[in-house]
A and B are shown apart, each in its own frame.
Chain A
Amino acid sequence: MAEIPLETYKSDVHPVWCPGCGDFGVLSALYKAMHALQLDPTKLVFVSGIGCSGRLPAYVKAYGFHVVHGRTLPVSMGVRLANPELTVVAVGGDGDGFAIGGGHIPHAARRNLDITYIIMDNETYGLTKGQVSPTSQIGHTSGSTPYGNVEAPINPIAFAITYGATFVARAYSGKPKELVDLIVKAVQHEGFAFIDAISPCITFYDTYKMIPQKLASVPATHNVKDKAEAFKLALDTEHLYMGLFYQESRPTFEESVMATVHRAESKGMPKFDDILTAYR
């Protein structure tokens, strides 16, 4: 089969993002990862929430569903249950994923829904012009915290590991090669693959200088099957580790659900009249 060229994955819609936005790095990495994997775009669905990152599906030449704020994961589940042959990539921001939609991550994770979920994490609400988000640091001054943020940020990596995500990674939009590599692995992973992709907001919370200072690669010696060690790396306050923290193999939600269906179906489709007769 002829190779699918990289350009095939690009739509002709021009991104609305500010020049220098970290989201460009994520989009570009997605194109490269899809190309590397040679994914069939007709069987590819991008699901996004609300926020700057929510616009991403329109920039990819594939199927897209730009849903309501915070609900990418339930919609992704619906898509996968309807057609498990589709590859689903959910994208959204830290507000979309951890604030309004925070209640869905635990359930997608424990179900082990077989999708890739990329959080484009900029520690702020960019589309509403800079308010604090669940990943903002204490003391951060913003439109909604003029005297400084008093709420502690969540730890996305520890959060995802705790709830049973079977693939947990952190990436940085400024390190495109590593990001492409992680997206490729996440899509290949069978189960819920979570990537916290740090993607700075150049307009309302520019962390381009801050992030690289703390950035470090997950040590090469790290065993990704070691959950306790993965937690240690996630909780490290000195370094912001980048790379794959944790991976485990567990039956996916879709596999288990379809196995139930096949078991039920194997007994033969019930006759409508027989169902009725049970109500005599």
Chain B
Amino acid sequence: MNDIVFRIGGEGGEGVISTGELLTRALARADYEIYTFRTYPAEIKGGHANFQVRVSDHLLLSQGDKIDVLLAFNQEAYDRHFKFLKVNGVLLYDSDSFSPPPDTNSCIGYGVPLTKIAVERIGLKFSKNVVALGVLSQLFNIPLERFEGLISEKFKKKGEEVFIKNIQALKAGFDYAVQHVKKTDPYRLEPVTRKRDVVVMTGNEAMALGAVAAGLKVYAGYPITPATDIMEWLARELPKVGGVVVQTEDEIAAIGTVLGASFAGKKAMTATAGPGFSLMTEFLGLATMTEIPCVVIDCQRGGPSTGLPTKTEQGDLNLALYGGHGDSPRVVLALTSVADCFQGIIRALNIAEEYQIPVLVLSDQYLAHRMASVERSNFQSVEVRERLRPTPEQLASYKRYILTETGVSPMAIPGDAGGFYTATGLEHDEAAELSFEPHNHEVMTEKRHRKLRMLEKTSNEIAKVYGLEQPEIAIIGWGSSEGVIREAVERAREEGNSVGALHPKLLKPFPTQRVKDFLKKAKVLIIPEINFTGQFASLLRAHVPFEPIAQLNKCGGLPFTPEEILAKMKEVHQHG
């Protein structure tokens, strides 16, 4: 049976996450499809961390529902996660750390003295993680050489001794399982026959890579969970292609630096989370008013205020849509999967440049730190767009904000002879000169909004449908819930239900026509969102009159599971 959900739980800072990453990469290198989910404490040391990886030989759309194999390093991991373990699932635990209650009989338990092996045999306490990987390798038929390769890459740079000890730890775990664990569970990975050309990366890595592919040249940012690793990735990679990264004194300075760089002709971007995004809203109005391209990524986390810094939420949609004073057109794009993180950022930078408008990109913690296997072909077709620049004739009598059919005017940049203008947040006319005349403000406001109208077609086109095009039970979600909803729809369709899901990517402008078409035969519309109030549901209601809407909201910091979506479908079906 090649669909297994592993979960590893233990003390934060003791290697749970890196163990999970090693397991994930080993599986991917053995040509399995993988999909991870992780939570981690807000503390650096201590707190509880867990890492989940689902493995299969077919396309994975979600982290799965219940757990098949729980690797518990301590009592807390058992206490927190045992209830999610399937009946007759496997509990693998460090018998030096704790023992499950004697009446634990709904699972198959294997106690392994992980700490003792690590301390006494290897002489390296934290190698208990690698010992555990050796045990997993033997029990579930994960090729040992995949782990050896990864350990070699990870530890050789730390010195020969560390490397050798970790290899010994891996083999000690493997051997212990051979000699002492009597396997009675049915889980066993069968080798994959189809070779796949995939890479394994997180959403944040895919976004950073996409930005480089799209021609990003200036990145400014301020550290904030869960966006920080975008800055760290770019700090390492962007200079190699002639770009610069600066860590600013705050998020206001970050977006200010982005606008300065874009004004001067370079593609520029910043990434943040809710608190930082809040600080940027004044500058976003300036970007709209001065028509300067920029991209802001918001890796959403639980809010308001400091909220749940390391947990996921879809709570910043309203801020992205409406956060700013005045009629302030901006584009809002929601990323849906790790693969989409790459293509989506390219799209965001392209739209920003082509329409000279701020593009706000919504990701979240669930997507930011989720590792997924993505076919290499996903990274192949990259179409890069540039901003409209004035011709020499246009520069001869240059008007920065000349009225056009598209609302987009050729943009001069410093260094262009004849292109002199002052970009200003004050209202201005076509020639960029200040004007507070009533008619002018109406004309220029309409010009700035015209760009959004131009994008409506794209918004309708790039929304995706899974399942039926015009279902009776309709689902519309957004952002990182795409895969989970899609899996739920597939399962419901197997049972013969008239179900389909529409998943928009551009939320502003809203894909109104596409939504209307999708809902033509619908008897009910389910809107799942990881927030309390249903921010997307409100947005939809403002564009499309439809009743009844069944909102499915949760905001505990965790993503949906397919079961939760299916349960809602059953509920509305019964009441329908």
Contact = CB atoms under 8 A, between A and B. Distances in A.
Nearest to B292: A65
Interface string B386-421: 000000000000000000000000000011111111
Contacts of B252: 71, 74
B260 A58 contact: no
B283 A71 contact: yes
Nearest to B29: A280
Contact of B260 (A42, A79, A265): A79
Contacts of B425: 66-68
B420 A65 contact: no
Contact of A41 (B217, B253, B420): B420
A50 B180 CA distance: 74
Given A66-B424, A279-B200, A78 B414 contact: no
B414 A45 contact: yes
B205 A77 contact: no
A17 B266 CA distance: 34
A81 B282 CA distance: 22
B422 A65 contact: yes
Interface in A49-65: 57-58, 61-65
A78 B250 CA distance: 14
Given A68-B286, A74-B252, A279-B201, A82 B260 contact: yes
Given A279-B205, A280-B199, A81 B414 contact: no
Contacts of A279: 199-201, 205
Contacts of B423: 64-66
Contacts of A63: 414, 419-422
B346 to A, nearest CB: 13
A190 B258 CA distance: 23
A258 B420 CA distance: 27
B283 A264 contact: no
Contacts of A265: 239-242
Contacts of A263: 239
B13 interface: no
Chain A CB within 10 Å, residue with most, of B25, B220, B249, B254? B249
Determine which residue in A44, A62, A74, A76 has the highest number of CB atoms from chain B within 10 A of its CB, and name it: A74
B551 interface: no
B209 interface: yes
Interface string B109-124: 0000000000000000
A78 B259 contact: yes
Given A42-B414, A78-B264, A79-B414, A107 B248 contact: yes
Nearest to B235: A260
A261 B239 contact: yes
A144 to B, nearest CB: 22
A257 B244 contact: yes
Interface stretch (A22-30, A168-176, A203-211, A267-275): A267-275
B3 to A, nearest CB: 23
A74 B421 contact: no
A83 B283 contact: no
Contact of A71 (B218, B240, B253): B253
B246 interface: yes
A11 B422 CA distance: 11
B543 interface: no
Contacts of A225: none
A47 to B, nearest CB: 7
Contact of A75 (B260, B414, B419): B260
Contact of A107 (B29, B218, B249): B249
Contacts of A222: none
B567 interface: no
Interface string A101-122: 0011011000000000000000
Interface string A81-111: 1110110000000000000000110110000
B434 interface: yes
Contact of A83 (B250, B265, B422): B265
B260 A47 contact: yes
Interface in B468-522: none
B200 to A, nearest CB: 6
Given A264-B240, A279-B199, A74 B253 contact: yes
B237 A257 contact: no
Q: Quick one: which of B29, B422, B423 has the most chain A CB within 10 A? A: B422
Q: Which of A57, A78, A83, A264 counts the most B-chain CB atoms under 10 A from its CB?
A: A78
A74 B260 contact: yes
A250 interface: no
B429 to A, nearest CB: 12
A86 B416 CA distance: 12
A43 interface: yes
A276 interface: yes
Contact of B415 (A11, A81, A85, A277): A85
A81 B262 CA distance: 10
B257 A81 contact: yes
Given A58-B424, A260-B239, A42 B257 contact: no
Contacts of A1: none
B422 A276 contact: no
A13 interface: yes
Given A45-B414, A82-B266, A86-B415, A65 B240 contact: no
Contacts of B155: none
Given A260-B239, A272-B213, A280-B29, A74 B414 contact: no
A269 B241 contact: yes
Contacts of A106: 249
Given A46-B422, A66-B422, A74-B255, 8 more contacts: A42-B417, A62-B420, A68-B286, A77-B260, A78-B264, A82-B266, A107-B248, A276-B199
21 contacts: A42-B419, A45-B414, A58-B424, A58-B433, A66-B422, A74-B248, A74-B252, A75-B259, A77-B246, A77-B253, A78-B257, A81-B266, A83-B414, A85-B415, A103-B250, A261-B243, A265-B239, A265-B240, A269-B241, A270-B240, A276-B379
Interface of B: 25, 28-29, 198-201, 205, 209, 213, 217-218, 220, 237, 239-244, 246, 248-250, 252-266, 268, 282-283, 285-286, 290, 376, 379, 414-426, 433-434
The 4 closest A-B pairs by CB, nearest first: A78-B260, A64-B422, A74-B256, A264-B239
